[in-house]
Amino acid sequence: MKTTSPHMLDSGIRPLPIADGPELRAALKEANLQTLLMVYVHLTHDESMLETFKAHIHPPYTNLDYQTPQDCIDDLHEKLIYVLTTPGAAKSEDPPIALMKKMMSTGVGEPVDDEFIPMVIEQAGFVRSPTRKENPERTPPPPGFKVLVIGAGLTGILAGIELERAGYDHVIIEKNEEVGGTWWKNRYPGVGVDTPSHFYSYSFEISPEWNHYHPHGADMREYFRAVADKYDVRRNIRFQTMVHSLVFDDAAAVWNVTIEDLKTGKREVIKANAVFNAFGTTDRWSLPDIKGIDSFKGIITHSADYDENIVLKGKKVAVIGTGASSAQIVSTIVKEVDELVVFMRTKHWMINNPEVTQEVPKAVKWALRYIPHYKEWFRFRVFWFAADGLYPNVVKDPSYPEDGIAVSALNEGMRQYALSHMHHKLANRPDLIEKLTPDFPIFSKRVVMDAGWYDALLQPHTTLETTHIAEILPDGIRTKDGKEYKLDIIICATGFNASSLVQDLEIKGRDGHDLTVDWADEEERAYMGTTIPGYPNYFLSTGPNAGPNHAGGINIVSESQVHYMIECLDEMIARGARTVEVTEEAFIRHNKRIDDQMKHMIWTHPKSKSYYQNSKGRPVGPWPFRLVDMWNEMQEPILEDYRIE
């Protein structure tokens, strides 16, 4: 069913001239100065302005003075007003690549090397690859060739769009009743995204309509619904349908996929020439295994299955867990409930980022909508500081102790930054500082953004309980030291089951391969986190060791993997072949490379324990290199690493 979304997507068209008036003047006053500089140079190719501003632009994580002389700012504003409002004043062609590179380096106050340029130009939305199916030199998919996509979240929607542009017949199987995946299901109080709004979206659909600099759950739902509307993705989706098994037929070179209609319970087998597994780990939850949990007479719920109709006002509420979801929930509900008890299972590093709670001003939205190239340069700036700029934080300095509290000087600096924020907020509560200070390096597991967490813990009706839970009672919770809390509602913010990347899905490949056996004993591995030997024409999204765990960048990973899948299928079809499958040799070589690099990463620190690792301590989730490395390596497959038959 097609829906109407209030989240307006951008047409990409920026007609000039713009009328001079109060809206333009207000936008220039409130918009990001460095981004406005990029817009001016883009429209005029005037390199002299870069030199004027260069001495005043530094990365945000330095302590250098940011003050730009007012006369420089006024001069830039006046020149921009002229270019934007005068017919013919702006150049019609984009700047040459060399100038773009110079602009990027000046705009962020540090070098942007050549290896980043192609990725940045794409990810900032300046270019988009041509539609494949309109290329007369390309071999089109043969009639009847079908790709099956599992999941209609961020990656599944993207796969549907790109498969359509490439001319592939496809079907998307989605267990929910609407698109959006985890952002459709998660409705808990305060649900939001740690990654900045203007980065956490498709590079070809940069929306100017984000309400907050970090999107709330409702913003994400509307964004994905709007994208599905614009690209008519739903016509290829079977909603409320579950995939149970994938069995490869070697003779026919097809996957037999058993699906179930969740409304009727009816099962059927459909055939697909290729499968793209696009579901993630953040929709698999269960209530914690705590004695007496079934005896509770009040309301008990998991954050991932939260009912928005739950009435919290005036209630005695417990939140179990202290991770990202818990921090958002606690910060949101603290003013509404009568009593709040937070049961801490593990400690987390909390980062102060004021933008997490900030709304995007109307004037900035206007700039994003109407000033040519502002949205692209703004996205570039956000991307640069939310992506590989954070990578050095997770690389071990061999001169630091192997079991120390930090892995490098930069990592120690970030630890001190987080500690300073904690001590500032909790200056009068040394008991809370003692309870909350982690004993492991920052970034060794997911950091949490402070959107009011410390403030909530300071409230007189809030208790932070660090003693483990012994039992859930019919009317509350008893801890192991015998303390009892009377409760009306228990919210379990206890995370997800990340122990199996393919859930309980049965996947049987060729020559007797069974993924349950191949990945037994938690040995989940893949080639580039995307393909596995023994499973032809089967592709994973964010598979083993493909997670961007040093930065916000799941959208970049998804775009890279969808692109890579279509490159593989295109090569197979161009050769007249039926299957494409990574070789065992390439698979082994790639995973040795992963293991060798992981020795130098924070996730193998002896104090690093999180869902990034399996029960044996091996980091299964993180990609141990930079995002730019993944993007560059996935532009096209190394054909020698594949059997194409």
**In the prediction, which pLDDT does 60 show?**
74
Q: What CATH number should be reported for the domain whose range is 143-284+498-588+623-637?
A: 3.50.50.60
**In the prediction, which pLDDT does 2 show?**
35
**In the prediction, which pLDDT does 425 show?**
97
Residues of the chain whose pLDDT is less than 70?
1-13, 61-66, 281-284, 496-501, 503
| H-only helix segments in 263-341 | 324-333
* CA angle, 260 then 268 then 540, to 5°: 65
**In the prediction, which pLDDT does 285 show?**
77
Give residue limits of the domains in the chain. 22-129+362-388, 143-284+498-588+623-637, 293-356+400-492
- Which residues 6+ apart lie within 8 Å of 486 measured at CB? 316, 475, 476
Integer Cα distance of 160 and 233 in angstroms: 6
| Of residues 207, 191, 135, the one with CA closest to residue 332 | 191
Which residues partner with 412 through β-bridges?
none
The string of DSSP codes covering 599-622 is TTBGGGSTT--STTB-TTS-B-SB
Do residues 9 and 207 touch, judged by C-beta distance below 8 A? yes
Q: Mind listing the pLDDT tens digit for each residue in 273-289?
A: 999 999 876 666 778 89
Integer Cα distance of 240 and 180 in angstroms: 13
Q: What CATH number should be reported for the domain whose range is 293-356+400-492?
A: 3.50.50.60
Segment holding 49, helix H or strand E: helix 48-54
Read off the tokens for 190: 């305060």
The string of DSSP codes covering 514-573 is BHHHHTGGG----BTTTB-TT-TTEEESS-TT-B-TTSS-HHHHHHHHHHHHHHHHHHHH
Integer Cα distance of 572 and 87 in angstroms: 50
The length of the chain in residues reads: 645
Q: What are phi and psi of 538, to 5 degrees?
A: -120, 125
**In the prediction, which pLDDT does 1 show?**
32
Q: Is the pTM of this model over 0.85?
A: yes
The sign of the CA dihedral 180, 382, 629, 563 is: positive
Read off the tokens for 74: 């006024």
**In the prediction, which pLDDT does 461 show?**
98
Mean pLDDT score of the chain, rounded to an integer? 93
Segment holding 449, helix H or strand E: strand 448-449
> Are domains 143-284+498-588+623-637 and 293-356+400-492 of this chain identical in fold?
yes
**In the prediction, which pLDDT does 15 show?**
85
CA contacts within 13 A on the Cβ side of 553: 33
